[in-house]
Structure 1
Amino acid sequence: MTIHFGLLVFPGIQQLDLTAPYEIFASTEGAEVHLIWKDTQPVISATKLALQPTVTFDDCPKLDVICVPGGGGINALLEDETVLSFIRSRAAQARFITSVCTGSLVLGAAGLLNGKKATTHWNAQDFLANFGAIPTAGRIVQDGNLITAGGVTAGIDFGLAVVAALFGKEEAETVQLSLEYAPQPPFHSGTLEEATADVIARTRRRLAGSRMAREAILARLIASERKPA
């Protein structure tokens, strides 16, 4: 039986949030992977890579796994009811509802994180509570059929974990070996715990623009919820 994976692809996506789990899923026997957007015109990632959607919201088949990647482009999605409605409808049918990096904030905006443990990029962890989630540190966090991954490269580990859950450990390990995934980073600054204070400060400055925009969006969402009916 074919397992259908659907990954949202959108303008301003962080391409590795998408392509890391995509490579894992697409390398799995018995899997079919769909890249989903409003239309099938190429979209441009945050780092200017063109990505080609394969199905539209209207044409998308029933999904066993729905995945929302992250990136600066999620800011627009937080207030896009067409996107949020699609995610809600497909999540209701999926075996697993998942995200990578700040994609979890989109799940939150769709109302899918309330009372659930979830994670995201370290620079967005504090936003999760705005959506009723229980912010939980971790490279992969699972709460029932909700699986959220941390920032960017966590999508590789996440992808393997999902494959193991659906196809078994042996298939996941086969995919891991076929991709020679055995990370040995040349530097140890991939987490807040390992990075120096200078590196953390430089990184926060680099991410400040997108964070400020996200803060403004969340303020609007919170204000709209408090308005009387």
Structure 2
Amino acid sequence: MDATFVLYPNMTALDFVGPFEVLASVPVVSARFVAATLDPVKSDNGLVVTPTDTFDSLKSTDIVVVPGSGHWKALLKDSGGVVEWLREVHATTKWTTSVCTGSTLLAEAGLVSKATTHWAAREDLEVRGVEVSTDRVVFDGKVVSGAGVSAGIDMALRLVEAEFGEMVAQAVQVGIEYDPQPPRAYDSIPPEIAQGLKAAFDSRQA
């Protein structure tokens, strides 16, 4: 089973590295990395990843994982071919997934009706006609979305459970020693901290 991770400039590294570690722990899963070209792609914090495939060469896959970016508004204006490729490849997938603001790309492609995302991007999902959930992981048919950044690990574990069963998912979770404690959600922090965080994220979009 192929799991293909979408790469583009300024993506958030943990958005795809977390799900990659989970999915790659399943022996029957082979990882691929797709981008507009085969040139190395740099994440928003400087991690460089080399693609294995291009949007032109890869036309089908079993699983797609779309990471998000802290610069998602600019990406929605010009995705560099990501949105068009997602529309095309989605017809071939068993699972189409996103992490963080990657769900806004799925929404832009018209592939999702209910999803979660990073708290800072909820409005961008809503204006695209998507029912926005604050859950950490959301299943919408064969589309699975994870909330912000670290939620990609939870999303991938839920996906492994759905595809391979609970025992495999538990084995993977213990193998990577992922023992999450109750997360501190955006909606639960003091308003003054939330406002400061929102302002910081909004400033990135300028």
TM-score with structure 1 setting the length: 0.83
Provide the secondary structure at the position in 2 that maps to 1:92.
helix
| Residue 73 of structure 1, CA deviation | 4.5
Deviations 1:76-131 (A, max 9, x none): 44234732221111101111111100001001111112xx1111101111211222
Percent of paired sites with the same residue? 35
- The answer to whether the 8 Å contact 2:59/2:88 transfers is no
Give the 3 Å change call, closer, same or farther, for CA 76–49 of structure 1 in structure 2: same
Residues 162-185 of structure 1 show CA distances to partners (whole Å, capped at 9, x for unaligned) of 111111111111110110001248
For the 8 Å contact 2:7–2:33, the answer to whether it is kept is yes
Structure showing greater Rg: 1
C-alpha distance in structure 1 between counterparts of 2:164 and 2:12, whole Å: 27
Amino acid in the other structure paired with 1:56 = T
One-letter amino acid matched to 2:67:
P
Superposed counterparts of 1:8-19, under 5 Å: 8-19=6-17
Where do residues 126-137 of structure 1 align in structure 2 (5 Å cutoff)? 126-137=123-134
2:197 counterpart of 1:203: yes
Query: 1:119 is matched by which residue type in structure 2?
Result: T
Structure 2 unmatched runs, 5+: none
In 1: Cα distance, 2:195 partner to 2:27 partner: 43
- How far apart are the structure 2 equivalents of 1:184 and 1:22? 21
Amino acid at match of 2:126: A
What is the SS of the residue equivalent to 2:82?
helix
Match of 1:174 among 171, 174, 193: 171
2:89 match: 90
CA contact (8 A) 1:35 1:52 kept: yes
User: Aligned AA for 1:20?
Assistant: G
2:3: which partner in 1?
5
Q: Does the C-alpha gap of structure 1 residues 35 and 65 become closer, same or farther in structure 2, counting only changes over 3 Å? A: same
**For 1:80 and 1:196, how far apart are their aligned partners in 2?**
34
Match of 2:144 in 1: 147
Report the AA paired with residue 30 of structure 2: E
- 1:15-164 residue pairs with structure 2 within 5 A? 15-60=13-58, 62-78=60-76, 79-80=78-79, 82-113=81-112, 116-164=113-161
Structure 1: state its 5+ residue gaps.
214-229
What is the alpha-carbon root mean square deviation over aligned residues?
Answer: 1.8
Query: Per the alignment, in what secondary structure is the counterpart of residue 147 of structure 1?
Result: strand
Detail structure 1 runs of 4+ shifted over 6 Å in the superposition.
none
Q: What's the counterpart of residue 194 of structure 1?
A: 188
Alpha carbons of structure 1 residues 65 and 24: separation in structure 2 relative to 1, 3 Å: same
Deviation at 1:50, TM superposition (A): 1.3
User: Given that residues 70 and 201 in structure 2 are in contact (C-alpha distance below 8 angstroms), is that contact kept between their aligned partners in structure 1?
Assistant: no
Aligned residues: 205
